[in-house]
Homo-oligomer: A and B are copies of this chain.
Amino acid sequence: MAALPQALEHLIAELGKLPGVGRRSAERMAFALLASASEEVQPLADAIARLHEQVGLCDMCGSYTDRGQCRFCSDPGRTRDTICVVETPMDAIAFERTGGFRGQYHVLGGVISPLKGIGPEALRLGALARRLREGAFVEVILATSPSVEGEATAHYVAQTLARDGLAFTRIGRGVPMGGALDLADAGTLRLALEGRRALS
C-alpha cells in the first residue's frame, strides 16, 4: 500500500520531470507546497499554466519575448552592425548577462545534426539570411556550442551566407576561467593552443 495520497504522488511525478529534480527533491517540493496555504501556491500553478501563452519567440531574432519584437530587437540603443548567432534563446540570455555585447542576436533554434535528422532547413537560417541581406551588419559572431555539431553549423552558416563586406567570426574556445588544466580534455587543450593570442 502506497503511503501517499494519489494526488500527491502525481504531483511528485510531475515535479520529478523538471531538470535536476530527483525523487527526494520532488517530494520535498510537494510537501512544501502542501504545507503552504492554497493561495500561496496558486501563483506558481498560474505561472506554469500561462507560460506558453505569455512567452513566445521574437519574430525577428527568435529570442523569448512577451510581446511582438523582443527587448533586444526593439532596443534603439543597441548597435546594428554586429549580430551574434546562437543555438537557443537561453544562449542569447547567457551572452547578454556578460554585459559585453550590445549588438543584435539571432537564434537558430538548434544545430545541424544529421544523426538526429536535423537539417539546415529546420533552423532559422532563412530569417538570418534575410536579416543579413536587409541589415547593415559587418560582423556575424558564430556562437554555436563548442561541439562537433556546433562547429559544423558555424562553418555551414559562414559558407552559405558569405558575402563581400561581411566578416564571420567564431567565439573563442579554450580553457574556461577557473578551469583546472590537468582536468581539461585533449580537445579543449588543443583548441586553447590553436586559439592562443599575443600577450599585450
A residues touching B (Cβ–Cβ < 8 Å)? 1-8, 10-11, 14-15, 17-21, 25, 28-35, 38, 41-55, 64-66, 70-71, 75, 88-90, 92-93, 96-97
**Are the CB atoms of A51 and B20 closer together than 8 Å?**
no
**Are the CB atoms of A44 and B52 closer together than 8 Å?**
no
Distance in Å: Cβ of A93 to nearest Cβ of chain B? 5
Residue of B nearest to A14 (CB): B44
Partner of A7, one of B1, B34, B50, B70: B50
Residue of B nearest to A3 (CB): B96
- For the complex, what is the distance from the CA of A38 to the CA of B92, rounded to whole Å? 22
Partner of A66, one of B5, B30, B41, B93: B5
**Are the CB atoms of B55 and A1 closer together than 8 Å?**
no
**Are the CB atoms of A93 and B4 closer together than 8 Å?**
yes
Residue of B nearest to A4 (CB): B93
Contacts of A42 in B (CB 8 A): 49
**Are the CB atoms of B41 and A52 closer together than 8 Å?**
yes
Partner of A48, one of B5, B17, B45: B45
Contacts of A19 in B (CB 8 A): 28-29, 32
Residue of B nearest to A93 (CB): B3
**Are the CB atoms of B15 and A44 closer together than 8 Å?**
yes
- For the complex, what is the distance from the CA of A75 to the CA of B1, rounded to whole Å? 10
